[in-house]
Amino acid sequence: MSELDQLYMRRALELAEWGRGFVSPNPMVGCVIVHQGKIIGEGYHQTYGAAHAEVNAILSVDNQELLKESTAYVTLEPCAHWGKTPPCANLLVEKGLKKVVIAAVDSNPLVGGKGIEILKNAGIEVETGVLEKEARWHNRRFFTQIEKQRPYVILKWAQTRDGFVARENFDSKWISNTQSRQIVHKWRAEEDAILVGKNTALHDNPSLNVRDWIGKDPVRIVLDSNLRLPSDLHLFDGSIPTICYNSIKNEILNNLEFVNLGPDFSVKAMLSDLNHRKIQSLLIEGGSLILQKFIQAEVWDEARVFTSKTTFERGISAPVLHQNPQETLSIGEDILQVYYHG
């Protein structure tokens, strides 16, 4: 693995990042085409159902004849199956690329080495594993869903300096600052779905949409086992696709779907249903009991915790993570700590 290989692959990963929030349930993919040490084409997967990174990179090359003496750097193994678009591996063969450098092999059973096989059978030199760790981390939502058959789970909460997420009457009224709240809206735009429990829905009446950022609204999810939440909550206004998991009924009303998980109402049953719906990532915003439930079940991948200078002295206790944070950032006067599970 040469320094130049790493340089071009890092550029491909930069390009792939532009697809965040727009390509799920597909992975984010970037592609760079190099001819005699010069980048002649770039592309990334922009929107789910639209052209893949390799297609966009090839289309950006002015002189298509140069492709026969060029190397393509791709962050993920080129697809080998017909989906919403034709196989990218076949396109690379058709255009006669000299070499293809791949960061990570696709663990999707539809692909799983088949794209590499197509390239090699056509006489194209293939190299894999260039910045593989970085590429898998970049697409950790995709790989989690493929390999664990569930969404990538992100826990998020804001707590006071003395460890509370709300007052005893469940009134929290902005523990974190304005900048922290705007960051949360950015996160919402990047994930497929967002979840709250019954108490958070009742006492905060959240909209769970993207207001302070540009991007799509995530699918809203609320847990209400016995269907006791009032129908006039923002979550039930029909403005955004919403799922209410419960133990009573299955019913679809416009943009609102009630899903009966049965009497056990388990975390794993809900995640299994979300997986079948191709929900690749889930942001859980509360309340404390729901967050702790996921922690105790050890079904989470990442936790993002804001701590403000505010104190409540008494209130609803914040969830507890029995590990040290991997990242600590200052957001104004708030402290953001990020934890990774496993």
What structural domains does the chain harbor?
Answer: 3-145 (3.40.140.10), 150-340 (3.40.430.10)
Q: Is 24 annotated as a binding residue?
A: no
pLDDT score recorded for residue 172: 63
Q: What tens digit of pLDDT does each residue of 307-320 get?
A: 999 999 899 999 99
Q: Is 242 annotated as a binding residue?
A: no
Would you name the residues annotated as active-site residues? 54
Q: Is 174 annotated as a binding residue?
A: yes
pLDDT band at 212 (very low <50, low <70, confident <90, very high): confident
State how far the alpha carbon of 158 is from the alpha carbons of 50, 187, 209, 217, 304, in Å. 37, 14, 18, 21, 9
> Taken in order 173, 177, 178, 179, is the CA torsion positive or negative?
negative
Return d(Cα 28, Cα 21) in angstroms, integer: 9
Q: What tens digit of pLDDT does each residue of 91-125 get?
A: 999 999 999 999 999 987 777 899 999 999 999 99
Q: What tens digit of pLDDT does each residue of 168-201 get?
A: 877 666 799 999 999 999 999 999 999 999 999 9
**Which two tokens mark 221?**
């999810």
Helix (H) or strand (E) holding 340: strand 334-340
pLDDT score recorded for residue 162: 94
Q: Is 172 annotated as a binding residue?
A: yes
**Percent of the chain at pLDDT above 70?**
98
Cβ within 8 Å of residue 161, ≥6 positions away: 307, 308, 309, 310, 311
Q: Is 208 annotated as a binding residue?
A: yes
Question: Token match 């990218």: residue?
Answer: 88
- Report the chain's terminal Cα–Cα distance, integer Å: 28
Return d(Cα 328, Cα 48) in angstroms, integer: 33
Return d(Cα 104, Cα 22) in angstroms, integer: 21
Return d(Cα 16, Cα 27) in angstroms, integer: 9
CB 128, CB 100: distance < 8 Å: no
pLDDT score recorded for residue 342: 77
State how far the alpha carbon of 48 is from the alpha carbons of 29, 45, 335, in Å. 11, 8, 35
153: nearest Cα among 285, 17, 335 = 285
235: nearest Cα among 187, 197, 181 = 197
Q: Is 158 annotated as a binding residue?
A: yes
pLDDT score recorded for residue 28: 98
Q: Is 178 annotated as a binding residue?
A: no
The pTM of this model reads 0.94
pLDDT band at 253 (very low <50, low <70, confident <90, very high): very high
Return d(Cα 66, Cα 95) in angstroms, integer: 10
pLDDT band at 155 (very low <50, low <70, confident <90, very high): very high
